[in-house]
Amino acid sequence: MEAIDLGGLRVRMISGGELWLDGGAMFGIIPRVIWSRATAPDEAHRIRLACNCLLVEWDGDSDRRAIVEAGVGQKYTPKEQKIFAIDPTEWIGSSLTAAGVAAETISDVLLTHLHFDHGGGLSTRDADDRLVPTFPRARIHVQEQELSDALSGFGIMTSTYRPENLEPLAERWAPHAGGVEMLPGITALPTPGHTRGHTSLVLRGSERTLLFVGDVLPTAAHVGAPFNMAYDLFPLDNRASKQALLRRAADEDWVLVLGHEPDTPLVRVVVEGDWYRFEAV
């Protein structure tokens, strides 16, 4: 994908891999007869999900290069690869290599939260099968509540905060309180609901603004008010976060980046009655 020039910073979409998850879990209380119209399940009742990441570069600053999200990674057993239909050769590391970007040049990684499909690419195994950081010089930016919950395993899914994604990064964490500018033009916007410390990321240039939504609104099919995931810890909070984001994005003409949307990851928000719809960019 060609770079999007926001004015002062440039953004490219980078694949963090794909996975397939149970469609019912991805749509919570929404009946299958409704959600399957927008995203068709396979024979195992799973739907295809991208792990969309961003590569961010700054004009005139050759020493800073950031990744937004790290994707699903490639540290999975054959059984897990089958359950989630993960191809371990397709992950953030291989995508960056294909784009001609060395992992050693990444100075910062910014995350919405630390579930395995967002933080799985943070670590990898070296030639001696040791767990090491994928990005050896990068600081890892995540909201401090999210980091605390990840390290303590707080959640309803027992294996979503995986130690192999977290332990190799003990010296790399750069926790923030939310609502702060972490890097020039990139601000963490608290959007709790999916997790307590979930944040969306605002990338603001002099000409355009992108909003990386994260799992508050994972795919284009989740735009509707009641379309929450069963994985959301606090569904009502997530709905409130989603409504606030949609309102602001419509008012300020932001481009949204949908983290798990495989087909139309870049959208604009349009007011429709008392709610909103998406237009593909």
202-229 confidence digits (pLDDT tens) = 999 999 999 999 999 999 999 999 999 9
Token pair in block for residue 151: 């390290």
CB 53 within 8 A of CB 94: no
* Bridge partners (DSSP) listed for residue 131: 125
- Per DSSP, 102 falls in state -
Which residue in 98, 90, 80, 197 sits closest to 141, CA to CA?
197
Token pair in block for residue 273: 């009655």
pLDDT tens-digit series, residues 31-52:
999 999 999 999 999 999 999 9
CB 264 within 8 A of CB 220: yes
Strand positions, DSSP E, the chain: 4-5, 9-22, 46-58, 61-68, 108-110, 123-125, 131-133, 139-143, 173-176, 181-183, 186-190, 199-204, 209-212, 255-257, 266-272, 275-280
Question: Along the 281 residues of the chain, how does pLDDT read in single tens digits?
Answer: 678 999 999 999 999 999 999 999 999 999 999 999 999 999 999 999 999 999 999 999 889 999 999 999 999 999 999 999 999 999 999 999 999 999 999 999 999 999 999 999 999 999 999 999 999 999 999 999 999 999 998 887 778 999 999 999 998 999 999 999 999 999 999 999 999 999 999 999 999 999 999 999 999 999 999 999 999 999 999 999 999 999 999 999 999 999 999 999 999 999 999 999 999 99
Token pair in block for residue 79: 């059984």
Which residue in 145, 141, 142 sits closest to 154, CA to CA?
145
Token pair in block for residue 86: 């993960």
- Per DSSP, 217 falls in state S
Classify domain 4-280 by CATH number.
Answer: 3.60.15.10
CB 122 within 8 A of CB 109: yes
**Distance in angstroms (rounded) separating the CA atoms of residues 171 and 180:** 21
- For the chain, what are the domain ranges? 4-280
β-strand pairing of 199-204 with 123-125: unpaired
